[in-house]
C-alpha cells in the first residue's frame, strides 16, 4: 500500500486517457468474507480488496477464530464455521468500516457469546439504533456503551429468534437490511423482514441478495419492502468466488475520461456487473459523455461538443458514485441538481456539508439542503486555482476532488492517505491516465546501453521533471509473458498483456502484480525478449497511452527507442544518444556484474549487434534518429558532460518555444 504525505498537489491537468484495472469492490469483499466465515465449507476468494475496511473485517474474523489463509495478491481461503464463531468472548475494533461493524453486529447477536464492538470516533457518530432495535425485537441482548443509538456496543448471550417477523427502517442505511439478510439464515426457520420508509441504496441490497444466492440462500422478495428468509436456510460455500472490481472506484476514472477528452477505460466491471454503481455510466451519458460497455469493462470519453451538460437527477440508488457527479458538475454548462442524497449525512462524514464547503473553494456556487445539492460552476468554468481541499478522513472526498485538477489548475488534497480505506494506490492510478498537454517533454532516444537511462534520470532530477523509462514497460510485458508461458512471437497475446499490464511505478521501484521486479526485468533473458516484444504493433499500441500519461507538469524526460518520432513528436527537445557497440557491451557487462548476474563480454557484444539490427530494421517504430534530434556520441564523454550539453540545449529550446 502507498504511503502518502500530509498533502498531495495535483495538476494542473487537462487530459485523461488510458486504462485502469480496478481493485476489488469493498462492498462485495466484506460481504463475501462474512458469508464465507458463516458458511459450511472452505471458500476460495479471488481479487479480494487490499484496503483498510477489509483489513478490519479480516482482523475481526481472525479474533473470532475463523481460519483465513493465503494472500490478496493471489487467493484468500476462508474456512467457514458453519453458523457459529468458535470464539465466544472478544473485543473487536472495526475502525470506520460500516460494512464490517453493522453486519457483524447482527451475526454476533446470534452466536450466544459476549462481544464488544467499537471503532474510530466518527464510527461512534454513525447511527445503528434501528438495527439494534430490530435485533432486540428478535431476542438479542445488545447494550450501548456510550450514547444511545450509536456504537460502541456490547453483545451478551440472548434468546434470539423469538419472533417470525422483524421490521427495519430503510431510509437511514441499507447496511441495516444487509446485516439482517446475512445473519437471519442462521436462525434455521422462516423469518420475514419488513422495511419501513423508503429503502435507499437499493442496488446494494441487490448485491447482498445475489451473493447470498451464491452461498445457497435464496431470499423471497415481495416488492421492495418485504423479504422472506425460508425455513431451513443454510449458508454453504460455493467453493470459489471472484470479487468484481469496485464500481464506485470506477466513477472517478470514467468522469476523468468525460472531462479530459478520454477515452479512459476501467477494467473489472461492465455490463455483467452485480453492482448498482455501474449506473454512474448512465448518469455520465445523460451529461453527454460517450460511453461504451463490454462484459467486463466500461469506457468514457468527452461529449462531441467537448462540454458536459448540466443535470437534475435522483441519485438515491448510487449515493457513493453521486459524489463524483458533484465534482463533474464543475465542468457542466449550467446548474446541476443532485437529489435524494440524504444518506450522505451519516457516512464517513456529513458529506453534503463537506462537499458544499470544498466545491465553494473551487469557485462554485452551492446550495445545500437536507437531501440535495445544487451546484453552479464558476464563471466560464474557470476554477479557482491552488484550492486546498480538506478530506475529513473520507476516502471518497479525496478521490472525487482529484478531478478538479483536470480544470487546468493546481489542487492540493489534504490528508490523501485516507484513500487507503478502499483504494490505497488511487493517486498512482490517477496519475497514469492524466496529463498536461502543455507540459514540456525532453525525448531521449538511442540504442541499448548508449547511456540514455542514467542521463535521462540526471536531467529529470536537475529540472525537477518526471521521468519515463519506456524500456521498462516493454521489459515488463516480456517478463509477464515469460512468467505466463506466452509465446513471445504471439502478437495478439502480447498486445493483450500490454493493454492490461498490471504494473506501476512507486518510490523508485517497478512493480508487477504488486511484486517488486526492478531487478528482475534487467535479466538478460528478459532483455532479449523485450527487444522481440517491442517489434509488435499490438504491444506498442497497447503501451502508447500509458507512456503519454507520464506527461505531467512541470515536465517530462522520456527515454527509449521512439520517444521523439512516435510517442512525443511535439517534444520541445529531441536527443539521440549513441556509442560504439564495443563501448555499449562493456557498459552492459559492468551493469550486470554489479547486479550479480552472470555475463560474458563477447556474448553481450554479439547480442547488442543483433539487437541493433532488429531495432533498426523492424517495420513498426524502428530505431532511427528523428530528423530534428540533436545527436551525441557518448563513447568518450562522461555522464556529467552529456547531461550538461542536454541542459544547455533545453534552455535554448525553451526560449525559442512558442508560449502555450
Is the per-residue pLDDT at 1 higher than 60?
Answer: no
262: left (phi over 0), alpha (psi -120 to 50) or beta: left
Task: List CB contacts of 111: < 8 A, sequence separation 6 or more.
Answer: 84, 85, 88
Residues designated as active site = 320
pTM of the model: 0.65
Is the per-residue pLDDT at 21 higher than 90?
Answer: no
Which of the four pLDDT bands, split at 50, 70 and 90, describes residue 74? low
Residues 197-217, mean pLDDT to the nearest whole number = 89
Is the per-residue pLDDT at 149 higher than 80?
Answer: yes
**Ranked by mean pLDDT, which of 386-390, 567-571, 583-587 comes out on top?**
386-390
Is the per-residue pLDDT at 165 higher than 50?
Answer: yes
Cβ density class 412-433: b for 16+ within 10 Å, e for less: bbebbbbbbbbbbbbbebbbbb
Is the per-residue pLDDT at 448 higher than 70?
Answer: yes
Least trusted range by pLDDT, from 49-53, 70-74, 78-82, 191-195: 70-74
Q: What is the pLDDT of residues 101-118, one digit of tens each?
A: 999 999 999 888 999 999
Q: Would you state the pLDDT for residue 154?
A: 97
- Average per-residue pLDDT for the chain: 89
Q: Would you state the pLDDT for residue 543?
A: 85
Q: What is the pLDDT of residues 637-654, one digit of tens each?
A: 899 999 999 999 999 988
Q: In degrees rounded to 5, what are phi and psi of residue 87?
A: -85, 125
The percentage of residues in the chain with a pLDDT greater than 90, rounded to a whole number, is 53
**Ranked by mean pLDDT, which of 391-405, 469-483, 553-567 comes out on top?**
391-405
Measured between alpha carbons, how far is residue 610 from residues 105, 223, 537, 551, 619 in Å? 66, 70, 20, 32, 16
Is the per-residue pLDDT at 523 higher than 90?
Answer: no
Please name the helix (run of DSSP H) or strand (run of DSSP E) that holds residue 559, with its range, or none: strand 556-560
Amino acid at each position: 500500500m502507498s504511503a502518502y504525505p500530509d498533502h498531495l498537489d495535483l495538476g494542473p491537468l487537462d487530459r485523461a486517457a488510458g486504462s485502469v484495472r480496478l481493485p476489488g469492490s469493498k462492498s462485495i469483499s466484506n460481504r463475501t468474507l462474512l458469508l464465507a466465515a458463516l458458511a459450511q465449507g472452505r471458500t476460495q476468494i479471488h481479487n479480494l480488496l487490499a484496503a483498510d475496511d477489509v483489513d478490519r473485517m479480516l482482523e475481526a474474523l481472525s479474533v473470532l477464530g475463523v481460519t483465513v489463509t493465503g494472500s490478496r495478491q493471489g487467493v484468500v481461503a476462508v474456512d467457514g464455521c458453519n453458523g457459529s464463531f468458535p470464539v465466544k468472548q472478544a473485543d473487536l475494533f472495526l475502525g470506520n468500516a460500516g460494512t464490517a461493524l453493522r453486519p457483524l453486529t447482527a451475526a454476533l447477536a446470534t452466536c450466544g457469546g459476549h462481544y464488544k464492538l467499537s471503532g474510530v470516533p466518527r464510527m461512534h457518530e454513525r447511527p445503528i439504533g434501528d438495527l439494534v432495535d430490530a435485533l432486540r425485537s428478535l431476542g438479542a441482548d445488545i447494550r450501548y456503551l456510550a450514547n444511545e443509538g450509536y456504537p460502541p456496543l456490547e453483545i451478551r448471550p440472548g434468546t434470539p429468534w423469538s419472533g417470525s417477523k422483524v421490521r427495519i427502517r430503510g431510509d437511514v442505511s441499507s447496511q441495516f437490511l444487509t446485516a439482517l439478510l446475512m445473519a437471519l439464515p442462521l436462525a434455521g426457520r422462516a423469518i420475514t423482514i419488513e422495511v419501513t420508509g423508503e429503502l435507499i441504496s437499493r442496488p446494494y441490497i441487490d448485491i447482498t441478495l445475489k451473493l447470498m444466492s451464491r452461498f445457497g440462500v435464496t431470499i423471497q422478495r415481495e416488492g421492495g419492502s418485504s423479504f422472506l428468509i425460508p425455513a431451513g436456510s443454510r449458508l454453504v460455500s460455493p467453493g470459489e468466488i471472484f470479487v468484481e472490481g469496485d464500481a464506485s472506484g470506477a466513477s472517478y476514472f470514467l468522469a476523468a475520461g468525460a472531462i479530459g477528452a478520454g477515452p479512459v477505460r476501467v477494467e473489472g466491471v461492465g455490463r455483467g456487473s452485480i453492482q448498482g454503481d455501474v449506473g454512474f455510466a448512465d448518469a455520465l451519458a445523460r451529461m453527454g459523455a460517450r460511453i461504451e460497455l463490454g462484459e467486463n469493462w466500461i469506457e468514457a470519453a468527452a461529449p462531441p461538443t467537448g462540454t458536459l451538460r448540466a443535470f437534475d437527477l435522483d441519485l438515491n440508488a448510487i449515493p457513493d458514485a453521486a459524489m463524483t457527479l458533484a465534482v463533474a458538475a464543475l465542468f457542466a454548462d449550467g446548474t446541476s441538481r443532485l437529489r435524494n442524497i440524504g444518506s450522505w449525512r451519516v457516512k464517513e462524514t456529513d458529506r453534503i456539508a463537506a462537499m458544499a464547503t470544498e466545491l465553494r473553494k473551487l469557485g462554485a456556487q452551492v446550495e445545500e439542503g437536507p437531501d440535495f445539492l445544487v451546484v453552479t460552476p464558476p464563471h466560464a468554468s474557470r476554477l479557482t486555482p491552488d484550492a486546498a481541499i480538506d478530506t475529513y478522513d473520507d476516502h471518497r472526498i479525496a478521490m472525487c476532488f482529484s478531478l478538479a485538477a483536470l480544470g487546468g489548475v493546481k489542487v492540493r488534497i489534504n490528508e490523501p492517505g485516507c484513500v487507503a480505506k478502499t483504494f490505497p494506490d488511487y493517486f498512482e492510478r490517477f496519475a497514469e491516465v492524466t496529463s498536461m498537454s502543455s507540459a514540456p517533454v525532453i525525448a531521449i532516444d538511442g540504442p541499448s546501453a548508449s547511456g540514455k537511462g542514467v542521463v535521462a534520470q540526471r536531467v529529470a532530477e536537475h529540472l525537477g521533471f518526471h521521468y519515463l523509462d519506456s524500456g521498462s514497460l516493454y521489459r515488463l510485458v516480456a517478463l509477464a509473458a515469460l512468467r505466463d508461458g506466452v509465446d513471445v512471437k504471439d502478437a495478439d497475446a502480447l498486445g493483450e498483456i500490454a493493454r492490461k499490464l498490471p504494473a506501476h511505478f512507486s518510490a523508485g521501484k517497478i512493480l508487477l502484480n504488486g511484486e517488486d521486479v526492478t531487478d528482475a526485468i534487467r535479466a538478460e533473458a528478459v532483455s532479449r525478449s523485450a527487444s522481440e516484444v517491442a517489434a509488435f504493433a499490438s504491444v506498442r499500441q497497447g503501451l502508447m497511452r500509458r507512456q503519454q500519461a507520464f506527461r505531467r507538469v512541470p515536465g517530462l524526460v522520456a527515454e527509449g527507442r521512439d520517444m521523439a518520432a512516435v510517442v512525443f513528436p511535439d517534444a520541445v527537445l529531441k536527443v539521440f544518444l549513441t556509442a560504439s557497440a564495443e563501448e555499449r557491451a562493456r557498459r552492459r557487462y559492468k551493469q550486470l556484474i554489479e547486479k550479480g548476474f552472470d555475463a560474458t563480454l563477447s556474448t553481450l557484444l554479439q547480442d547488442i549487434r543483433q539487437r541493433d539490427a532488429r531495432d533498426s530494421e523492424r517495420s513498426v517504430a524502428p530505431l532511427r534518429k528523428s530528423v530534428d534530434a540533436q545527436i551525441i556520441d557518448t563513447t568518450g564523454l562522461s555522464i556529467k558532460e552529456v547531461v550538461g550539453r542536454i541542459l544547455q540545449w533545453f534552455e535554448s529550446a525553451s526560449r525559442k518555444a512558442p508560449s502555450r
